[in-house]
Amino acid sequence: MREMTAGNLRSAFGGESMAHMRYLIWAEQAEAEGFPNVARLFTAISRAEQAHATGHFRALADVPGAHLVPAGGGFGLGSTSENLAGAIEGENFEVKEMYPAYVRVAEAQNEPGALRSLNFALAAEKIHAAMYIEAKQAVDNGEDARLGPVQICSVCGHTVEGGAPGKCPVCNAAKDKFITFA
């Protein structure tokens, strides 16, 4: 596969991924506004968009060298250890390069809403990188990661293992804003 096709697949993957998320967010809004069937429609079609993104991602896995993308992280599907290495690379890129640069621009342009969102993501990505590093160490030792319930703040994305804090340490959201993945 030629680089132009690989680039198109990366772009299509990004677009389908964004559509998947956009439809889930719109489903929440439709539900909040009292339109449960519209919410169900958005949710169902978001799953179709996820299938498209998955197909593009898997097609990229067959492209020699396509796993190396300028924005960090990886394309392709490898072993769990390799996938964790790609996740660590992507999270570290976000923490060390992407979000700090984006924060500087938002500060310079006096965009408080963007700055808030970017700082929330930056704080969470640091935790994600650490969690992936621990998981990779376990996998590389032939073990599954020891992991209790994972709590995600639905407001800012703060991530914690174990019980949810009384208040989110990043955005001060109440404990009931945490979603548990057990």
* Predicted pLDDT of residue 66: 55
Across the range 81-110, mean pLDDT stands at 91
Q: What is the mean pLDDT of residues 120-137?
A: 94
Domains and CATH numbers, the chain: 1-73 (1.20.1260.10), 78-145 (1.20.1260.10), 148-182 (2.20.28)
Note the pTM of the prediction, 2 decimals: 0.78
Q: Which are the contacts of 20, defined by CB distance < 8 A and separation ≥ 6?
A: 46, 47, 49, 50, 53
d(CA 92, CA 44): 33
Question: What is the band of 159 on the pLDDT scale with cuts at 50, 70, 90?
Answer: very high
> CA-CA distance, 124 to 42, in Å (whole number)?
27
**Chain mean position to CA 64:** 24
